């Protein structure tokens, strides 16, 4: 999908978002020689339903699970901002943090959340943290990362402007790009098993059903679909 050696940055709100949304695509990109890195914005501490262990223990567990899942897919590096789970907003601070990683890693492709609420799919897809990260990531791609006058301290630190070529967000509305996930669905499921605190050790049934539905249009057994945005 990209030339070997290309850099890819996956920007998500929570540990496990990358695997649920993009797992097969990430495996395909890594197998094709791309250098895939994650930027996870929150600590995931609200990911324990009900009366669970203290938040600090949940965060540590989820970060460890995220590293293990990323290793299954061939991800090169996982970075955490460690911001409070459930409290994200698309602030200048969050935009700056994402811009810093874009300029550092210089990705050709960035994968992130859909930047607005969609009402005709399950509500968890439009988690407020997802919306905030999607909007902040889009603003970091344009105009921030490519503009030397945005966050000039980054340029002074040696992180000069960089323009991402493409952004892919989940294809909740009018998808225009499909990745054949058939070869990689088992790897995606294996990565999701690493998120044991969230999945109980097995991916939810809706994961495969969603991928089957995504594959019907292009004629794939399983697919992940996207709204592909080319940055000119």
Whether 83 maps to a domain, the answer reads yes
Whether 179 maps to a domain, the answer reads yes
Predicted TM-score (pTM) of the model is 0.95
Tens digit of each residue's pLDDT (9 = 90 or more) over 73-88: 999 999 999 999 999 9
- Residue span of the structural domain in which 65 resides: 7-230
Which of 74, 27, 68 is CA-nearest to residue 185? 27
pLDDT at 232: 81
Tens digit of each residue's pLDDT (9 = 90 or more) over 105-150: 999 999 999 999 999 999 989 999 999 999 999 999 999 999 999 9
Tens digit of each residue's pLDDT (9 = 90 or more) over 167-177: 999 999 999 99
Whether 1 maps to a domain, the answer reads no
- Strand ranges, E, within the chain: 7-12, 35-42, 77-83, 109-111, 166-170, 177-180, 223-230
What integer is the mean pLDDT of 204-210?
A: 96
What integer is the mean pLDDT of 93-114?
A: 98
CATH code, domain carrying 51: 3.40.50.10320
What integer is the mean pLDDT of 210-228?
A: 97
């Amino acid at each position: 999908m990209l030339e070997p050696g290309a850099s890819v940055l996956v920007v998500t709100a929570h540990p496990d978002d990358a695997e649920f949304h993009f797992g097969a695509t990430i495996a395909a990109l890594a197998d094709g020689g791309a250098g895939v890195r994650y930027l996870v914005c929150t600590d995931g501490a609200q990911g324990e339903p009900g009366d669970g262990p203290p938040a600090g223990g949940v965060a540590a567990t989820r970060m460890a699970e995220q590293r293990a899942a990323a290793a299954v897919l061939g991800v090169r590096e996982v970075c955490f901002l460690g911001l409070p789970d459930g409290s994200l907003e698309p602030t200048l601070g969050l935009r700056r943090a994402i811009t810093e990683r874009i300029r550092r890693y210089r990705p050709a492709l960035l994968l992130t959340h859909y930047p607005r609420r969609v009402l005709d799919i399950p509500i968890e897809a439009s988690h407020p943290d997802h919306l905030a990260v999607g909007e902040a990531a889009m603003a970091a791609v344009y105009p921030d990362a490519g503009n030397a006058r945005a966050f000039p301290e980054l340029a002074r630190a040696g992180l000069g402007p960089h323009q991402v070529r493409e952004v892919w967000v989940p294809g909740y509305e009018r998808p225009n790009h499909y990745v054949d996930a058939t070869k990689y669905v088992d790897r995606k499921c294996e990565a999701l098993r690493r998120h044991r605190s969230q999945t109980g050790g097995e991916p939810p049934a809706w994961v495969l059903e969603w991928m089957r539905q995504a594959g019907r249009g292009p004629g794939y057994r399983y697919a992940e679909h996207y709204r592909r945005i080319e940055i000119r």
